[in-house]
Amino acid sequence: MNDDWRAKNGIYDADDEADPRLRSLLREWQAPDVSRSLDARVLDSYRRKVNRQPFWARFFTTSVRVPLPLAVAVMALLAIALALAVRTPDVGRTLPAQHVEAPSDEPIVVRTNLAGFEALEEVSVSVVTEQLK
């Protein structure tokens, strides 16, 4: 049966009054007193919370514990990155001009433009093998 339904229908109304006999029996179980150590602990925590420094002050004063292997690895990576950054890069360095002989007698076109260019109407491609040549 639904608890709310029973409650709404007054089934527990008689139970609203405390049972004095049961209550006196239950109260034989006494809880211990609050210890002084708890008082001191709560007060100490409270003081630490309310006297907390602002973020910027904590940022400059807070220390972080890092495992030694991780710290060594990070330092090594930083050292390598620094060494690579300091080294002069080869890229962009201009090479000295070199004179190159072409293997053919025909002139090599090294510079051209599209002035007077006319597209062909039809393009036929024929492959000439070495033997037919």
Partner 1 sequence: MTSCSAEAELLGLARQGKEEAFLTLYERHRDCVFRFAYRMLGSVQLAEDVTHDCFLSLIQKPGLFDPSRSSLQTYLCAAARNLAYRRMRKMERETTVEIMPEVEADTQAGPLNQVLTTELAETVKRAVAALPPLQREAVILFEFEDLSLADIAAVAETDVGTIKSRLHRARERLRRLLAPWVESEHHVLTRGSRL
Stretch that binds partner 1, among 24-32, 57-65, 89-97, 104-112 (CB under 8 A): 24-32
Q: CA-CA-CA-CA torsion for 53, 57, 63, 64, nearest 10 degrees?
A: 90
Kindly tell me which of 42 and 73 has the beta carbon lying closer to partner 1.
Answer: 42
* Of the residues 16, 90, 122, 130, which one makes contact with partner 1 according to CB under 8 A: 16
Whether residue 70 contacts residue 76, with contact meaning beta carbons closer than 8 Å, is answered with: no
Q: Count H helices, E strands: the chain?
A: 5, 0
d(CA 11, CA 1): 11
Of residues 32 through 51, those in contact with partner 1 by CB under 8 A are 32-35, 37-39, 41-43, 45-47, 49-51
User: At its nearest, how many Å lie between partner 1 and the CB of residue 55?
Assistant: 16
